[in-house]
Amino acid sequence: MQNAHEMRPRRRSAFVAAFLSLLFPGLGHAYLGASRRALGFAAPPILAGALVAGIAVRLDLFELAGLAIQEWFIAALFVINLVALAYRAAAIVDAWRIARWLQSGPAPERPVVSSAGRSSRGGAGTLPVASLAGLVAVLLVMSTIHLAVGRYDVLLAGTTRCIFDPGASGCSSAATPLPGPSGTGTDLVTPDPGALGTAVPFRSATPWNGTERLNILLIGADEQGGGHNTDSMITLSIDPVTSQVAMFQIPRDTVDVPIPPGPARKLFGSVYAGKINAWFAAVRNRPDLYPGTDQTRGYNGLKAILGELFGLDIKYYVEVNFDGFRKVVDALGGVTINVQVPVVDDRYPTATGGYRRLYIPSGMQFMSGAEALAYARSRHGSTDFDRSARQQRVLLALRQQTDIARVLPHLEELASALSASIRTDIPRDLLPRLLGLAEQISSRSVRSFIFTPPYYQTEYLTSPRGYIIVPRVDRIRAAVRGAFTADAANDRREQLTAEAATIYVLNGSGSAGQASGIADYLEFLGLAASAPGQKPDVSRLAATTIRIYNGAELTMPLTVAALEGLFGVKADLVTDGAATADIVIITGSNTPALTPPPIP
């Protein structure tokens, strides 16, 4: 027998009942007075919501993001969405049916509604077209919501599959033919394509155990013209115990990088004579050099050669394609960047292989994807340190300006851009731990090492191989070994290197070898110093003389202060349009004997 509170003598709208059930299961039944039935429909989603909320509260944003890209989670979300669709449809139809049944007889004689929604005396009345149309409209609205969720779930599945498995069918990277050994890498050096030996067997890398130092190679790739130049290479080294991070960046024009023992060394020699940004293209289609498929072999070779240079075991890589980066920025509607220093590049490369003049003024600048990419990539007229700072500024601006309101209207374009531009071999199940580790890392604990001349490399403006940089491997490896124990001297070296002052040391005392010894010491400090062998306009000096030319003291204050402190003299400011150096040091008889310490 039904309780009295389940009875409703007044007529109720079937459309309103269905609409309220659309808002939340059980609301329509409560509107009709079927309180037990309302509680029955409302209880499961309330309990499920409470469970999800409890789990979400225990996880941070990074862990939730890592969870969201797991294959099992995406599949479970798809199934849950289908179940929710069926459940909500049942609640809507049930509330509408009860309301229609309550309207079937005269109000005073309206029967009691049982828990099964049936009358004790039967009869359901007719189905007016307007009422049925209202039900269909509510079901369509509800279905549209779940279809959208399902579509985005499928989109997420496809995007993550292409990121974590670039060779999968349907991914743009899998459909794009890869260039052979004679690809378009910068100054590509390859062996005879026909000299293929036995394929190297694949061996699974030892997975990261969660406590050892983790090294990940970050790659920025240029694939214009069908090539694959790895123009930006940063090795991210993480100590999970101390939450310290070091970044080791090597310029793309570096040559003579040591090759680790194995088939590649036997073929190329002890070092790779080409520029390092072409190594990927040189080995990617050579199964006799490195294991893996045509999609992964180049990355395995790049991890191996950079690991040999740094003395590290590089386990994983993450690559971002420059063209895909442009599409991501465009999908987000552009980005506003605070340009602190104007960018002037008279030789910025174009897609057709030519050059154009690039000028970006200082101040707040709104940029499209192509403009942001040009700002981040420009190389001429600035140092690699400047370029790295610009790249970080672009990423920071994107992070600050990207929110849900901007992302939602462009989800499809964004997913397409991400699936075409990002590749990695990091296992999916490792992502939650890595993202959780990222949250623990403070920006203050990140140390940046850019291995540029003069201290870490020797620069040759002209050579038979064009413009090249030859690494001082012992100094680079020493910096990597001491990255997590580096002191203030290393910090100052990076700051002085960033100012990029050109310094000449001239011998004004007549003491043989004095100028070259001091130039070597200044290079140790991070200064681009050389002893050209020129005779100074003064000789037989006692004290050291420092000359700062053409306002260099304004743009190189740390360098000037360091030199004044080192030699104990005040610098002279000189204006001379014919000067070829920013700073000239003339030694004297009282100049201290300075020599760099041995490499540890």
323: pLDDT strictly greater than 50: yes
Q: Which residues on neighbouring strands pair with residue 343, listed in sequence order?
A: 360
Question: Using 50, 70 and 90 to split pLDDT, how confident is the model at 178?
Answer: very low
Q: How many CB atoms lie within 10 A of CB 300?
A: 21
Question: Using 50, 70 and 90 to split pLDDT, how confident is the model at 505?
Answer: very high
| Segment 303-319 mean pLDDT | 93
User: What proportion of the chain, given as a percentage, has pLDDT over 70?
Assistant: 79
Q: Burial level of 430, CB count in 10 A (0-12/13-18/19+)? A: middle
Question: Using 50, 70 and 90 to split pLDDT, how confident is the model at 189?
Answer: low
Contact criterion met (CB below 8 Å) for 448 and 233: no
Q: Burial level of 52, CB count in 10 A (0-12/13-18/19+)? A: exposed
**Token representation of residue 210:** 């969660």
403: pLDDT strictly greater than 70: no
467: pLDDT strictly greater than 80: yes
In this predicted structure, what is the pLDDT of residue 57?
A: 74
247, containing H or E segment: strand 244-250
Q: Could you tell me which of 238, 235, 232 has the C-alpha nearest to residue 247?
A: 235
Q: Could you tell me which of 539, 537, 543 has the C-alpha nearest to residue 589?
A: 543
| Segment 65-71 mean pLDDT | 76
Q: Three-state DSSP class for 165?
A: coil
Contact criterion met (CB below 8 Å) for 288 and 200: yes
In this predicted structure, what is the pLDDT of residue 88?
A: 93
**CATH class of the domain at 173-179+208-328+421-486:** alpha beta
Contact criterion met (CB below 8 Å) for 37 and 58: no
Query: What is d(CA 240, CA 437) in angstroms, rounded to the nearest whole number?
Result: 7
Q: Where in the chain is the domain with CATH 3.40.630.190?
A: 173-179+208-328+421-486
| pLDDT, tens digit (0-9, with 9 covering 90-100), for 342-353 | 888 888 877 666
Planar angle of CA 282, 284, 287, nearest 5 degrees: 110
Q: Which single residue is written with the structure tokens 């150096």? A: 581
| pLDDT, tens digit (0-9, with 9 covering 90-100), for 345-383 | 888 877 666 778 888 887 788 898 888 888 887 877 666
Query: What is d(CA 441, CA 370) in angstroms, rounded to the nearest whole number?
Result: 32
| pLDDT, tens digit (0-9, with 9 covering 90-100), for 435-461 | 777 666 665 567 778 888 878 888 888
Mean pLDDT of the chain: 80
Identity of residue 280? F
**Token representation of residue 59:** 């996880």
In this predicted structure, what is the pLDDT of residue 441?
A: 67
| pLDDT, tens digit (0-9, with 9 covering 90-100), for 21-49 | 999 999 999 998 889 999 999 999 999 98
144: pLDDT strictly greater than 80: yes
| Length reported for the chain | 600
Identity of residue 517? G
**CATH class of the domain at 333-401:** alpha beta
| Segment 259-267 mean pLDDT | 92
User: 228: which residues sit within 8 A by CB, 6+ positions away?
Assistant: 178, 179, 183, 185, 221, 222, 280, 281, 284, 298
Q: What is the DSSP string of 49-102?
A: HHHHHHHHHHS-HHHHHHHHT-HHHHHHHHHHHHHHHHHHHHHHHHHHHHHHHH
175: pLDDT strictly greater than 60: no
In this predicted structure, what is the pLDDT of residue 521?
A: 86
75: pLDDT strictly greater than 70: yes
In this predicted structure, what is the pLDDT of residue 169?
A: 65
CATH of 488-586, one of 3.30.70, 1.10.10, 2.60.40, 3.30.310: 3.30.70
Rg from Cα positions in the chain: 34
Q: Where in the chain is the domain with CATH 3.30.70?
A: 488-586
483: pLDDT strictly greater than 70: yes
| pLDDT, tens digit (0-9, with 9 covering 90-100), for 288-302 | 899 888 888 899 999
316, containing H or E segment: strand 316-321
Q: How many CB atoms lie within 10 A of CB 200?
A: 18
In this predicted structure, what is the pLDDT of residue 500?
A: 82
In this predicted structure, what is the pLDDT of residue 119?
A: 42
In this predicted structure, what is the pLDDT of residue 60?
A: 63
Per 3-state DSSP, what percentage of the chain is helix, strand, and coil (rounded to 5)?
45, 15, 40
